[in-house]
Chains A and B, each alone.
Chain A
Amino acid sequence: SYVLTQPPSVSVAPGQTARITCGGDNIGSKSVHWYQQRPGQAPVLVVHDDTDRPSGIPERVSGSNSGNTATLTISRVEVGDEADYFCQVWDSSSDHLVIFGGGTKLTVL
């Protein structure tokens, strides 16, 4: 089945820009979605369909997708952004509908 690869960790200082990647074979041809999960809490959708933000998600959170890499970008990082981030695609061509990346721990130094 389709595999999504994320770096285990990304570290950034407050006020800087964090970029979290999600690699997959020709992922640019798929719609990629991103979730934030803080400890003990439910996942929260932060970007869907590569670039769209749900209501309530700040404009400093953005997504892009091309070739073999999708990227979640968080500008002007805040301490409150520290969390685990997961990318996800929908694979309707198989019985394994929902595929998650392994997750990236964002640490704000």
Chain B
Amino acid sequence: EVQLLESGGGLVQPRGSLRLSCAASGFAFSDYAMSWVRRAPGKGLEWVSTVSGNGGSTYYADSVKGRFTISRDNSKNTLYLQMNSLRADDTAVYHCAKIWNYGDGWGQGTLVTVSS
């Protein structure tokens, strides 16, 4: 069974930074691309970023390109999202997800609040 556990969320000031982590278990982590998806209050799901299984290819939504960096450590079965230059509209629950074509494994999410 796919298990994904996010951590690292919290309250951060505008223009601040935060690093999210996602610990994975129950599947061959390095064989699968992994993604971050967020849901802002009162809004729908928004894809943020995807990294290939070996970490060599990364993809970003226009809204975070140049500010966020996705990475992974396959030796630790862990996915990361480094978030810099945070803005109020980045406030959301961030979900780690096993998505390639469709998402068949999701974490509960970690809340990021950007506010002064």
A64 within 8 Å of B (CB atoms): no
A109 within 8 Å of B (CB atoms): no
| Chain A hits for B60, CB < 8 A | 95
Q: Which of B44, B62, B97, B102 contacts A90 (CB 8 A)?
A: B102
Give the interface size bracket for B toward A.
20 to 34
**In the complex, A101 Cα to B45 Cα: how many Å?**
8
1/0 contact trace for A37-50 toward B, CB 8 Å?
A: 10001111100110
| Chain B hits for A49, CB < 8 A | 101-102
Q: Which of B47, B100, B101, B108 contacts A100 (CB 8 A)?
A: B47
B106 touches A90 (CB 8 A): no
**In the complex, A53 Cα to B46 Cα: how many Å?**
23
Total interface residues on A, CB under 8 Å, equals 25
Which residue from chain A places its CB closest to the CB of B102 in the assembled complex?
A: A33
A23 to chain B, nearest CB (A): 15
A54 touches B104 (CB 8 A): yes
A2 to chain B, nearest CB (A): 12
**In the complex, A61 Cα to B83 Cα: how many Å?**
38
A99 within 8 Å of B (CB atoms): yes
B59 touches A48 (CB 8 A): no
B44 touches A98 (CB 8 A): no
A45 touches B45 (CB 8 A): no
| Chain B hits for A43, CB < 8 A | 37, 45, 95, 97, 103, 106
Known: A35-B45, A103-B44, A103-B45. A98 touches B50 (CB 8 A): yes
Q: Which of B47, B104, B109 contacts A97 (CB 8 A)?
A: B47
B78 within 8 Å of A (CB atoms): no
B47 touches A99 (CB 8 A): yes
**In the complex, A98 Cα to B109 Cα: how many Å?**
18
Binding site for B on A (CB under 8 A): 31, 33, 35, 37, 41-45, 48-49, 54, 84, 86, 88, 90, 95-103
Pull 22 A–B residue pairs with CB atoms less than 8 Å apart, ordered by A: A31-B101, A33-B103, A37-B39, A41-B108, A42-B106, A42-B108, A43-B45, A43-B95, A43-B97, A44-B106, A45-B102, A45-B103, A45-B104, A84-B44, A86-B45, A90-B100, A96-B61, A97-B47, A97-B50, A100-B45, A100-B46, A102-B44
